[in-house]
Amino acid sequence: MDKTQLETFLTIAEHKSYSKAATLLNVTQPTITARIKNLENELSCPLFTKVGRDIALSKEGTVFFEYATNILTYMNHSKEVAKYTKYPEIRIGFSPGYSYSFITELLDAVISIDNLNITIMEGLDSCNLNEQILAGDLDLVFTRNIQSHRPEIAAEYLFDNKLVAVLGQNHPLAKKKFLTPHDLQNETLISYRRNSNLWREIDQRLIGISNIKRLEVDNNEMLKTIAENGLGIGITPSLGINKLNESKLIVKDIQEIGNIPNRVYVQYRKNSIIAAPIKKIIYSIINHEMKTSI
């Protein structure tokens, strides 16, 4: 019994025709007949009966139909498993706020890992990424907080991702060494994903500061572009800034906001097939952070 025989049997059963099966499988009708005859001899029972000019599954064929379907499914899955073992795919999720250059440098290191397929996406927030790794939709996530302990998921603290203020070089506050929440009075504050837990904590630090104008944007890159053009002050994690931005942006600490805990955790599924490349990815992240902090 082989895959060709099973596919032939199931095609005939679906279309109730040897000739139709021959056309669909691109072989001659005598070949179809021979395959079924060999399969029947192996099973020691007829698989089809004639009903007038038509054919139908025999009693034995009806029973075998479910087995044939399952066997063929398992055979196809086994090929996929073998392929996955040789070329594993790792699905990576980031929280919003990482600069594109940070992700690009990471991917540059990851691509050097042989025989690895990569899918990368930006989640709505850490909670969204936690849900996706629990559901099995992602293999590796970088988040602000960790999922409650689950035996199938490992979690490690990486480093702090301090919140900073960014503004254009010609902004009136650019010459101040440090900023305070009160410096934001009458200013336009640029944010993205303001409905996230992180921004709720930021807003808590700004209670009592009057006349703050709000500008909500789609992503971190847009936030930086608007700040560069002097249209407001953005609040973003420090990993959202890259060297190119630093030549156009002024980065300032606001102590009350910079003190908000914003740790980066890595979480990954405990899968022996992807364990080695995942460790290399984590090392690449840590190595990048060490180089940029020197």
Query: Which strand ranges, in their side-by-side order, compose the sheet holding 153-160?
Result: 117-122, 89-94, 140-143, 263-269, 153-160
Q: Residue 112: its pLDDT value, please? A: 67
Please enumerate in sequence order all residues whose Cβ is within 8 A of that of 191, keeping only pairs 6 or more positions apart, or say none: 199, 202, 214, 215, 216, 217, 223, 234, 235
Q: Structural domains in the chain?
A: 3-84 (1.10.10.10), 87-160+263-293 (3.40.190.10), 163-258 (3.40.190.10)
**Residue tagged 């490690």 (tokens):** 156
Tens-level pLDDT at each residue, the chain (294 residues): 788 899 999 999 999 999 999 999 999 999 999 999 999 998 899 999 988 778 899 999 899 898 888 888 777 666 555 554 555 678 888 877 776 667 776 677 666 666 677 788 878 778 888 888 888 888 888 888 776 567 888 888 888 889 999 999 999 999 898 899 999 999 999 998 888 888 899 999 999 999 999 999 988 889 999 999 999 999 998 888 876 556 688 999 999 999 998 888 888 888 766 777 788 777 777 776 656 554
Q: Is the dihedral of CA 202, 257, 268, 155 positive or negative?
A: negative
* Angle of the 100-111 helix axis to the 275-293 helix axis, nearest 10: 130
Return the half-sphere exposure (C-beta side, CA atoms, 13 A cut-off) of residue 110: 25
Type of residue found at 18: Y
β-sheet bridge partners, residue 160? 263
At 226 the three-state DSSP class reads helix
Q: Residue 271: its pLDDT value, please? A: 73
Distance between CA atoms of residues 221 and 31, nearest Å: 62
The whole-model pTM stands at 0.60
CB 284 within 8 A of CB 109: yes
Q: Residue 147: its pLDDT value, please? A: 60
Return the half-sphere exposure (C-beta side, CA atoms, 13 A cut-off) of residue 109: 17
Q: Residue 177: its pLDDT value, please? A: 85
Distance between CA atoms of residues 165 and 262, nearest Å: 14
Q: Residue 99: its pLDDT value, please? A: 67
